[in-house]
Amino acid sequence: MNDLSSRPARSSLTADLVGLIRRKPVAPADLEAAALFTLDAVANSLAGHNSEPGRVLMDWWRARGVSNTAPEPARLAFLMGALCHILETDDLHRESVVHPGCVVVPAAWALAAPRGASGQAFLTAVLHGFEAATRVGMAVGPAHYRIWHNTATCGPFGSAMAGASLLGLSDEAAVHALGNAGSQSAGLWQFLETGAMTKHLHAGHAAEAGVNAAELAAFGFTGPPQILEGEKGFFRAACPDADPAAVLRTPDAPWQLVRTSIKPWPSCRHTHPTIDAAAELRRRLLADGIGLDAIETIEVSTYAAAIDVCDRPVVQSDYEAKFSLQHTAAAALSFPEVDFAAFGAAARQSCASLAARVRIETVDPWASAYPVHWGGKVRLRLANGTELEAERTDAKGDPEAPLGREEMVEKAAMLLRHGGIENPAPLIDAILGLAASPALPDLAFG
Protein backbone atom coordinates (compact mmCIF):
# COMPACT_ATOMS: atom_id res chain seq x y z
CA MET A 1 0.00 0.00 0.00
CA ASN A 2 1.21 3.51 -0.75
CA ASP A 3 1.73 5.98 2.07
CA LEU A 4 -0.09 9.15 1.05
CA SER A 5 0.72 11.03 4.25
CA SER A 6 3.84 12.58 2.70
CA ARG A 7 1.84 14.25 -0.07
CA PRO A 8 0.84 17.79 0.86
CA ALA A 9 -2.92 18.21 1.15
CA ARG A 10 -4.63 21.00 -0.66
CA SER A 11 -6.78 23.01 1.73
CA SER A 12 -10.34 21.77 1.50
CA LEU A 13 -13.54 21.31 3.43
CA THR A 14 -13.00 17.57 3.25
CA ALA A 15 -9.57 17.81 4.89
CA ASP A 16 -10.98 20.01 7.63
CA LEU A 17 -13.88 17.58 8.13
CA VAL A 18 -11.50 14.64 8.52
CA GLY A 19 -9.50 16.61 11.08
CA LEU A 20 -12.60 17.66 12.99
CA ILE A 21 -13.86 14.08 13.25
CA ARG A 22 -10.54 12.59 14.28
CA ARG A 23 -10.05 15.18 17.03
CA LYS A 24 -13.39 14.46 18.70
CA PRO A 25 -13.04 12.48 21.93
CA VAL A 26 -14.87 9.18 22.24
CA ALA A 27 -16.36 8.50 25.67
CA PRO A 28 -17.77 5.17 26.92
CA ALA A 29 -21.29 6.60 26.61
CA ASP A 30 -20.61 7.34 22.93
CA LEU A 31 -19.59 3.74 22.33
CA GLU A 32 -22.72 2.54 24.12
CA ALA A 33 -24.88 4.76 21.91
CA ALA A 34 -23.07 3.50 18.82
CA ALA A 35 -23.81 -0.09 19.89
CA LEU A 36 -27.53 0.67 20.17
CA PHE A 37 -27.58 2.23 16.71
CA THR A 38 -25.62 -0.72 15.36
CA LEU A 39 -28.22 -3.05 16.85
CA ASP A 40 -30.99 -1.09 15.15
CA ALA A 41 -29.25 -1.21 11.76
CA VAL A 42 -28.32 -4.90 11.95
CA ALA A 43 -31.85 -5.81 13.03
CA ASN A 44 -33.25 -3.85 10.09
CA SER A 45 -30.89 -5.61 7.67
CA LEU A 46 -31.83 -9.07 8.90
CA ALA A 47 -35.54 -8.20 8.97
CA GLY A 48 -35.33 -6.84 5.44
CA HIS A 49 -35.07 -10.41 4.15
CA ASN A 50 -38.78 -10.80 4.88
CA SER A 51 -40.09 -8.49 2.18
CA GLU A 52 -40.60 -8.55 -1.55
CA PRO A 53 -37.53 -6.39 -2.29
CA GLY A 54 -35.56 -8.40 0.26
CA ARG A 55 -36.36 -11.65 -1.48
CA VAL A 56 -35.32 -10.17 -4.82
CA LEU A 57 -32.04 -9.01 -3.31
CA MET A 58 -31.36 -12.42 -1.77
CA ASP A 59 -32.15 -14.18 -5.07
CA TRP A 60 -29.66 -11.86 -6.75
CA TRP A 61 -27.08 -12.49 -4.02
CA ARG A 62 -27.35 -16.27 -4.30
CA ALA A 63 -27.44 -16.22 -8.11
CA ARG A 64 -24.08 -14.46 -8.14
CA GLY A 65 -22.58 -17.39 -6.25
CA VAL A 66 -21.28 -15.16 -3.45
CA SER A 67 -19.60 -17.06 -0.66
CA ASN A 68 -21.40 -16.49 2.62
CA THR A 69 -18.26 -17.32 4.58
CA ALA A 70 -16.05 -14.67 3.01
CA PRO A 71 -18.06 -12.27 0.80
CA GLU A 72 -16.27 -9.39 -0.86
CA PRO A 73 -16.66 -6.40 1.54
CA ALA A 74 -18.10 -3.89 -0.92
CA ARG A 75 -20.71 -6.37 -2.14
CA LEU A 76 -21.65 -7.34 1.42
CA ALA A 77 -21.95 -3.65 2.33
CA PHE A 78 -24.30 -3.19 -0.63
CA LEU A 79 -26.50 -6.10 0.42
CA MET A 80 -26.68 -5.12 4.09
CA GLY A 81 -27.33 -1.48 3.23
CA ALA A 82 -30.09 -2.27 0.76
CA LEU A 83 -31.78 -4.71 3.14
CA CYS A 84 -31.52 -2.25 6.02
CA HIS A 85 -33.51 0.43 4.22
CA ILE A 86 -36.47 -1.69 3.09
CA LEU A 87 -38.86 -1.75 6.05
CA GLU A 88 -38.70 2.01 6.75
CA THR A 89 -37.75 1.42 10.38
CA ASP A 90 -34.11 2.48 10.22
CA ASP A 91 -32.74 5.60 11.93
CA LEU A 92 -32.85 9.20 10.68
CA HIS A 93 -30.80 12.32 11.41
CA ARG A 94 -33.23 15.24 11.19
CA GLU A 95 -31.00 18.21 10.39
CA SER A 96 -29.38 16.41 7.47
CA VAL A 97 -32.40 14.27 6.45
CA VAL A 98 -29.95 11.37 6.16
CA HIS A 99 -30.52 7.79 7.27
CA PRO A 100 -26.92 7.18 8.38
CA GLY A 101 -27.27 3.72 9.93
CA CYS A 102 -28.26 1.92 6.72
CA VAL A 103 -25.10 3.19 5.03
CA VAL A 104 -22.46 3.46 7.73
CA VAL A 105 -23.10 0.30 9.77
CA PRO A 106 -23.10 -2.05 6.75
CA ALA A 107 -19.89 -0.51 5.42
CA ALA A 108 -18.17 -0.70 8.80
CA TRP A 109 -19.38 -4.24 9.43
CA ALA A 110 -18.28 -5.49 6.01
CA LEU A 111 -14.77 -4.12 6.57
CA ALA A 112 -14.39 -4.94 10.28
CA ALA A 113 -15.66 -8.52 10.39
CA PRO A 114 -13.18 -10.16 7.99
CA ARG A 115 -10.28 -8.22 9.50
CA GLY A 116 -11.07 -9.33 13.03
CA ALA A 117 -11.36 -5.72 14.18
CA SER A 118 -12.27 -5.17 17.80
CA GLY A 119 -15.73 -4.05 18.80
CA GLN A 120 -14.36 -0.74 20.02
CA ALA A 121 -12.60 -0.08 16.70
CA PHE A 122 -15.82 -0.89 14.88
CA LEU A 123 -17.96 1.37 17.09
CA THR A 124 -15.47 4.23 16.70
CA ALA A 125 -15.70 3.86 12.94
CA VAL A 126 -19.51 4.00 13.19
CA LEU A 127 -19.26 7.29 15.13
CA HIS A 128 -16.90 8.69 12.48
CA GLY A 129 -19.15 7.59 9.63
CA PHE A 130 -22.32 9.06 11.13
CA GLU A 131 -20.48 12.34 11.68
CA ALA A 132 -19.26 12.65 8.09
CA ALA A 133 -22.56 11.73 6.42
CA THR A 134 -24.67 14.02 8.58
CA ARG A 135 -22.31 17.01 8.51
CA VAL A 136 -22.30 16.92 4.72
CA GLY A 137 -26.06 16.43 4.81
CA MET A 138 -26.58 19.49 7.00
CA ALA A 139 -24.79 21.55 4.37
CA VAL A 140 -26.65 20.53 1.20
CA GLY A 141 -29.63 22.85 1.71
CA PRO A 142 -33.37 22.16 1.37
CA ALA A 143 -33.48 22.52 -2.41
CA HIS A 144 -31.22 19.48 -2.79
CA TYR A 145 -33.72 17.26 -0.97
CA ARG A 146 -36.54 18.10 -3.37
CA ILE A 147 -34.79 16.16 -6.14
CA TRP A 148 -31.97 14.21 -4.49
CA HIS A 149 -32.23 11.54 -1.79
CA ASN A 150 -29.82 12.76 0.90
CA THR A 151 -29.06 9.27 2.20
CA ALA A 152 -27.87 8.31 -1.26
CA THR A 153 -25.89 11.47 -1.96
CA CYS A 154 -24.38 12.17 1.48
CA GLY A 155 -24.13 8.58 2.64
CA PRO A 156 -20.96 7.73 0.66
CA PHE A 157 -19.03 10.30 2.71
CA GLY A 158 -20.06 8.42 5.84
CA SER A 159 -19.21 4.94 4.61
CA ALA A 160 -15.84 6.17 3.34
CA MET A 161 -15.06 7.84 6.68
CA ALA A 162 -15.93 4.67 8.56
CA GLY A 163 -13.69 2.74 6.19
CA ALA A 164 -10.87 5.22 6.66
CA SER A 165 -11.07 4.63 10.41
CA LEU A 166 -11.06 0.83 10.20
CA LEU A 167 -8.30 0.71 7.58
CA GLY A 168 -6.12 3.12 9.56
CA LEU A 169 -5.81 5.56 6.66
CA SER A 170 -3.73 8.68 7.11
CA ASP A 171 -5.56 12.00 7.04
CA GLU A 172 -4.41 12.51 3.47
CA ALA A 173 -5.61 9.09 2.36
CA ALA A 174 -8.92 9.67 4.14
CA VAL A 175 -9.40 12.87 2.15
CA HIS A 176 -8.83 10.94 -1.07
CA ALA A 177 -11.32 8.30 0.06
CA LEU A 178 -14.01 10.92 0.78
CA GLY A 179 -13.23 12.67 -2.50
CA ASN A 180 -13.85 9.55 -4.52
CA ALA A 181 -16.87 8.57 -2.44
CA GLY A 182 -18.39 12.00 -3.04
CA SER A 183 -17.76 11.72 -6.75
CA GLN A 184 -20.10 8.71 -6.70
CA SER A 185 -22.93 10.60 -4.98
CA ALA A 186 -26.25 9.86 -6.68
CA GLY A 187 -29.87 9.05 -5.97
CA LEU A 188 -33.04 10.69 -7.28
CA TRP A 189 -36.57 10.70 -5.84
CA GLN A 190 -38.20 9.75 -9.15
CA PHE A 191 -38.88 6.23 -7.86
CA LEU A 192 -41.69 7.62 -5.69
CA GLU A 193 -43.86 8.03 -8.80
CA THR A 194 -44.24 4.27 -9.14
CA GLY A 195 -43.11 2.91 -5.77
CA ALA A 196 -40.11 1.22 -7.42
CA MET A 197 -37.47 -0.51 -5.29
CA THR A 198 -34.83 2.10 -6.08
CA LYS A 199 -34.64 3.56 -2.56
CA HIS A 200 -33.05 0.36 -1.29
CA LEU A 201 -30.49 0.50 -4.10
CA HIS A 202 -29.62 4.01 -2.89
CA ALA A 203 -28.61 2.81 0.57
CA GLY A 204 -26.74 -0.18 -0.78
CA HIS A 205 -24.80 1.85 -3.31
CA ALA A 206 -23.91 4.51 -0.75
CA ALA A 207 -22.45 1.84 1.55
CA GLU A 208 -20.62 0.10 -1.27
CA ALA A 209 -19.21 3.31 -2.74
CA GLY A 210 -17.52 4.28 0.51
CA VAL A 211 -16.00 0.84 1.01
CA ASN A 212 -14.52 0.86 -2.48
CA ALA A 213 -13.23 4.41 -2.07
CA ALA A 214 -11.57 3.65 1.28
CA GLU A 215 -9.98 0.43 0.11
CA LEU A 216 -8.66 2.11 -3.03
CA ALA A 217 -7.24 4.98 -1.01
CA ALA A 218 -5.33 2.47 1.10
CA PHE A 219 -3.52 1.46 -2.09
CA GLY A 220 -2.75 5.02 -3.13
CA PHE A 221 -5.72 5.79 -5.37
CA THR A 222 -6.27 9.54 -5.25
CA GLY A 223 -9.47 11.55 -5.17
CA PRO A 224 -10.49 15.23 -5.44
CA PRO A 225 -9.85 17.02 -2.11
CA GLN A 226 -12.30 19.79 -2.96
CA ILE A 227 -15.14 17.46 -3.91
CA LEU A 228 -17.56 19.51 -1.81
CA GLU A 229 -16.77 23.14 -2.58
CA GLY A 230 -14.93 22.89 -5.90
CA GLU A 231 -16.09 24.62 -9.08
CA LYS A 232 -17.18 21.24 -10.42
CA GLY A 233 -17.89 19.71 -7.05
CA PHE A 234 -20.90 18.36 -5.19
CA PHE A 235 -22.34 21.61 -3.84
CA ARG A 236 -22.05 23.42 -7.17
CA ALA A 237 -23.59 20.52 -9.09
CA ALA A 238 -26.50 19.49 -6.90
CA CYS A 239 -27.07 21.98 -4.08
CA PRO A 240 -28.43 25.36 -5.22
CA ASP A 241 -28.79 26.68 -1.67
CA ALA A 242 -25.89 24.88 -0.02
CA ASP A 243 -24.54 26.06 3.34
CA PRO A 244 -20.88 24.94 3.19
CA ALA A 245 -20.13 26.37 6.63
CA ALA A 246 -22.44 23.76 8.15
CA VAL A 247 -19.89 21.04 7.43
CA LEU A 248 -17.62 22.37 10.18
CA ARG A 249 -20.11 24.22 12.37
CA THR A 250 -20.07 23.54 16.16
CA PRO A 251 -17.08 21.20 16.06
CA ASP A 252 -17.30 20.59 19.82
CA ALA A 253 -20.94 19.48 19.73
CA PRO A 254 -21.78 15.93 20.82
CA TRP A 255 -21.36 13.25 18.19
CA GLN A 256 -24.10 13.51 15.56
CA LEU A 257 -24.95 9.87 16.22
CA VAL A 258 -26.53 10.87 19.52
CA ARG A 259 -28.51 13.54 17.66
CA THR A 260 -29.97 10.85 15.40
CA SER A 261 -33.55 9.63 15.77
CA ILE A 262 -34.78 6.06 16.03
CA LYS A 263 -38.05 5.16 14.33
CA PRO A 264 -40.78 3.48 16.35
CA TRP A 265 -43.06 2.89 13.34
CA PRO A 266 -42.35 1.25 9.94
CA SER A 267 -43.07 4.23 7.69
CA CYS A 268 -41.40 7.33 6.33
CA ARG A 269 -40.14 9.48 9.22
CA HIS A 270 -42.10 12.45 7.89
CA THR A 271 -45.31 10.62 8.82
CA HIS A 272 -44.35 10.01 12.46
CA PRO A 273 -45.53 13.25 14.08
CA THR A 274 -48.89 12.63 12.41
CA ILE A 275 -49.00 9.02 13.61
CA ASP A 276 -48.12 10.02 17.18
CA ALA A 277 -50.73 12.81 17.33
CA ALA A 278 -53.42 10.70 15.65
CA ALA A 279 -52.76 7.83 18.07
CA GLU A 280 -53.43 10.21 20.96
CA LEU A 281 -56.71 11.25 19.35
CA ARG A 282 -57.68 7.59 18.91
CA ARG A 283 -57.29 7.06 22.65
CA ARG A 284 -59.43 10.10 23.38
CA LEU A 285 -62.15 8.94 20.98
CA LEU A 286 -62.19 5.49 22.56
CA ALA A 287 -62.36 6.97 26.06
CA ASP A 288 -65.41 9.04 25.02
CA GLY A 289 -67.07 6.17 23.16
CA ILE A 290 -66.89 7.97 19.79
CA GLY A 291 -66.59 5.89 16.63
CA LEU A 292 -64.59 6.71 13.52
CA ASP A 293 -67.78 7.27 11.53
CA ALA A 294 -68.29 10.45 13.55
CA ILE A 295 -65.20 12.04 11.94
CA GLU A 296 -66.06 14.39 9.09
CA THR A 297 -62.59 15.71 8.29
CA ILE A 298 -59.01 15.18 9.44
CA GLU A 299 -56.65 18.14 9.08
CA VAL A 300 -52.93 17.40 9.15
CA SER A 301 -50.66 20.40 9.64
CA THR A 302 -47.01 19.81 8.83
CA TYR A 303 -43.95 21.17 6.98
CA ALA A 304 -43.27 21.35 3.25
CA ALA A 305 -40.81 18.45 2.99
CA ALA A 306 -43.34 16.07 4.50
CA ILE A 307 -45.89 17.05 1.86
CA ASP A 308 -43.31 16.86 -0.93
CA VAL A 309 -42.55 13.24 -0.08
CA CYS A 310 -45.74 11.95 1.58
CA ASP A 311 -48.78 13.56 -0.05
CA ARG A 312 -50.37 10.37 -1.33
CA PRO A 313 -54.19 10.28 -0.99
CA VAL A 314 -54.62 6.89 -2.67
CA VAL A 315 -52.21 4.02 -1.96
CA GLN A 316 -51.98 0.74 -3.82
CA SER A 317 -49.08 -1.00 -2.10
CA ASP A 318 -47.46 -1.38 1.31
CA TYR A 319 -44.67 0.90 0.19
CA GLU A 320 -46.95 3.69 -1.05
CA ALA A 321 -48.85 3.50 2.24
CA LYS A 322 -45.63 4.05 4.18
CA PHE A 323 -45.17 7.29 2.25
CA SER A 324 -48.71 8.58 2.75
CA LEU A 325 -49.73 11.11 5.37
CA GLN A 326 -53.31 10.28 4.53
CA HIS A 327 -52.99 6.55 5.13
CA THR A 328 -50.80 6.82 8.22
CA ALA A 329 -53.21 9.28 9.84
CA ALA A 330 -56.09 6.92 9.14
CA ALA A 331 -54.11 3.89 10.35
CA ALA A 332 -53.14 5.55 13.63
CA LEU A 333 -56.79 6.42 14.24
CA SER A 334 -57.96 2.93 13.28
CA PHE A 335 -55.51 0.48 14.85
CA PRO A 336 -54.07 0.08 18.36
CA GLU A 337 -50.59 -0.35 16.85
CA VAL A 338 -49.12 1.00 13.62
CA ASP A 339 -47.08 -2.07 12.78
CA PHE A 340 -46.20 -3.89 9.55
CA ALA A 341 -49.77 -5.15 9.22
CA ALA A 342 -51.08 -1.57 9.23
CA PHE A 343 -49.74 -1.15 5.68
CA GLY A 344 -50.96 -4.43 4.20
CA ALA A 345 -53.77 -4.85 1.69
CA ALA A 346 -56.48 -5.44 4.28
CA ALA A 347 -55.43 -2.40 6.29
CA ARG A 348 -55.27 -0.21 3.21
CA GLN A 349 -58.79 -1.20 2.26
CA SER A 350 -60.20 -0.63 5.73
CA CYS A 351 -58.49 2.78 6.02
CA ALA A 352 -59.41 4.07 2.55
CA SER A 353 -62.63 5.83 3.58
CA LEU A 354 -60.98 7.55 6.52
CA ALA A 355 -57.89 8.48 4.48
CA ALA A 356 -60.16 10.19 1.96
CA ARG A 357 -61.22 12.60 4.71
CA VAL A 358 -57.65 13.77 5.35
CA ARG A 359 -56.59 17.27 4.29
CA ILE A 360 -52.95 18.30 4.60
CA GLU A 361 -51.40 21.76 4.77
CA THR A 362 -48.11 23.49 5.46
CA VAL A 363 -48.48 25.63 8.57
CA ASP A 364 -46.20 27.37 11.05
CA PRO A 365 -44.69 26.70 13.49
CA TRP A 366 -44.07 23.30 11.93
CA ALA A 367 -42.98 24.73 8.57
CA SER A 368 -40.36 27.12 9.91
CA ALA A 369 -39.14 24.76 12.65
CA TYR A 370 -38.12 22.10 10.11
CA PRO A 371 -35.54 20.54 9.84
CA VAL A 372 -34.41 21.22 13.41
CA HIS A 373 -37.77 19.97 14.66
CA TRP A 374 -40.05 17.53 12.86
CA GLY A 375 -43.49 18.21 14.29
CA GLY A 376 -47.10 18.63 13.30
CA LYS A 377 -50.72 18.68 14.35
CA VAL A 378 -53.80 16.60 13.67
CA ARG A 379 -57.27 18.12 14.09
CA LEU A 380 -60.50 16.12 13.89
CA ARG A 381 -63.80 17.76 13.03
CA LEU A 382 -66.71 15.63 14.17
CA ALA A 383 -70.23 15.55 12.76
CA ASN A 384 -71.63 17.27 15.86
CA GLY A 385 -69.26 20.23 15.40
CA THR A 386 -66.77 19.15 18.03
CA GLU A 387 -63.08 19.63 17.25
CA LEU A 388 -60.29 17.56 18.75
CA GLU A 389 -56.61 18.18 18.14
CA ALA A 390 -53.21 16.92 19.19
CA GLU A 391 -49.81 18.26 18.23
CA ARG A 392 -46.18 17.26 18.47
CA THR A 393 -43.15 19.53 18.53
CA ASP A 394 -40.89 16.56 17.86
CA ALA A 395 -41.49 13.02 16.72
CA LYS A 396 -41.27 10.09 19.10
CA GLY A 397 -37.74 8.69 18.90
CA ASP A 398 -36.13 12.12 18.39
CA PRO A 399 -33.44 13.18 20.88
CA GLU A 400 -36.04 15.36 22.62
CA ALA A 401 -38.45 12.40 22.90
CA PRO A 402 -36.11 9.41 22.80
CA LEU A 403 -36.91 5.74 22.92
CA GLY A 404 -35.54 4.15 26.07
CA ARG A 405 -32.90 1.43 25.93
CA GLU A 406 -35.49 -1.27 26.63
CA GLU A 407 -37.75 0.10 23.89
CA MET A 408 -34.86 -0.08 21.44
CA VAL A 409 -34.08 -3.65 22.48
CA GLU A 410 -37.74 -4.61 22.13
CA LYS A 411 -37.84 -3.05 18.67
CA ALA A 412 -34.70 -4.95 17.63
CA ALA A 413 -36.11 -8.22 18.93
CA MET A 414 -39.32 -7.64 16.96
CA LEU A 415 -37.35 -6.95 13.79
CA LEU A 416 -35.08 -9.96 14.24
CA ARG A 417 -38.04 -12.26 14.79
CA HIS A 418 -39.62 -10.76 11.67
CA GLY A 419 -36.41 -11.77 9.88
CA GLY A 420 -36.73 -15.37 11.04
CA ILE A 421 -34.48 -15.36 14.11
CA GLU A 422 -36.57 -17.15 16.75
CA ASN A 423 -34.20 -16.43 19.64
CA PRO A 424 -32.72 -12.96 19.04
CA ALA A 425 -31.35 -12.47 22.59
CA PRO A 426 -27.81 -13.84 21.97
CA LEU A 427 -27.24 -11.59 18.96
CA ILE A 428 -28.69 -8.58 20.77
CA ASP A 429 -26.41 -9.19 23.76
CA ALA A 430 -23.37 -9.63 21.52
CA ILE A 431 -23.96 -6.35 19.70
CA LEU A 432 -24.69 -4.40 22.87
CA GLY A 433 -21.45 -5.76 24.32
CA LEU A 434 -19.27 -4.75 21.38
CA ALA A 435 -17.35 -2.08 23.28
CA ALA A 436 -15.63 -4.81 25.31
CA SER A 437 -15.56 -7.49 22.59
CA PRO A 438 -12.42 -8.52 20.69
CA ALA A 439 -14.44 -9.19 17.51
CA LEU A 440 -17.86 -8.92 15.88
CA PRO A 441 -20.45 -11.70 16.09
CA ASP A 442 -21.19 -13.73 12.97
CA LEU A 443 -24.04 -12.69 10.69
CA ALA A 444 -25.45 -15.03 8.06
CA PHE A 445 -26.65 -13.62 4.74
CA GLY A 446 -27.02 -16.90 2.89
Q: Which stretches does DSSP call E strand in 337-415?
A: 358-362, 376-382, 387-392
Return d(Cα 325, Cα 270) in angstroms, integer. 8
| Side-chain-facing half-sphere of 446: CA atoms under 13 Å | 7
For domain 269-392, give the fold: 60s Ribosomal Protein L30; Chain: A; (3.30.1330)
Q: What per-residue confidence (pLDDT) applies to 69?
A: 58
Q: What per-residue confidence (pLDDT) applies to 319?
A: 87
Q: What per-residue confidence (pLDDT) applies to 2?
A: 37
Helix axis angle for 198-218 and 150-166, nearest 10°, is 30
Tally of CB atoms within 10 A around 25? 7
Q: What per-residue confidence (pLDDT) applies to 1?
A: 37
> Torsions phi, psi of 310, nearest 5?
-125, 25
Strand partners, 380: 298, 388
Longest dimension (CA), the chain: 77
- pLDDT tens digits, one per residue of 426-435: 999 999 999 9
Strand partners, 301: 361, 377
- Residue 177 near residue 163, CB atoms below 8 Å: yes
Domains of the chain, residue spans: 13-264+402-436, 269-392
Return d(Cα 146, Cα 152) in angstroms, integer. 13
Does the fold of domain 269-392 match that of domain 13-264+402-436? no
pTM above threshold 0.85: yes
DSSP letters along 258-274, please?
A: GG-B--SSSS-GGGHHH
Strand partners, 389: 379
Identify the band that residue 10 occupies on the pLDDT scale cut at 50, 70 and 90.
low
Listed in sequence order, the residues at least 6 apart from 216 whose beta carbon sits closer than 8 Å to its beta carbon are 177, 180
Return d(Cα 130, Cα 161) in angstroms, integer. 9
Listed residue (410, 257, 282, 258) closest to 342, CA to CA: 282
Q: What per-residue confidence (pLDDT) applies to 71?
A: 83
Return d(Cα 251, Cα 204) in angstroms, integer. 29
DSSP letters along 179-202, please?
A: HHHHTT---BGGGGGTT-THHHHH
Listed residue (338, 40, 84, 341) closest to 200, CA to CA: 84
Return d(Cα 109, Cα 87) in angstroms, integer. 20
Q: What per-residue confidence (pLDDT) applies to 305?
A: 93
Q: Give burial (CB, 10 Å; 0-12/13-18/19+) of 23.
A: exposed
For domain 13-264+402-436, give the fold: 2-methylcitrate dehydratase PrpD (1.10.4100)
> Does 446 have pLDDT greater than 80?
no
Q: What per-residue confidence (pLDDT) applies to 7?
A: 38
Return d(Cα 34, Cα 60) in angstroms, integer. 31
> Does 184 have pLDDT greater than 50?
yes
Q: What per-residue confidence (pLDDT) applies to 66?
A: 59
Average pLDDT, the chain: 94
- Residue 44 near residue 204, CB atoms below 8 Å: no
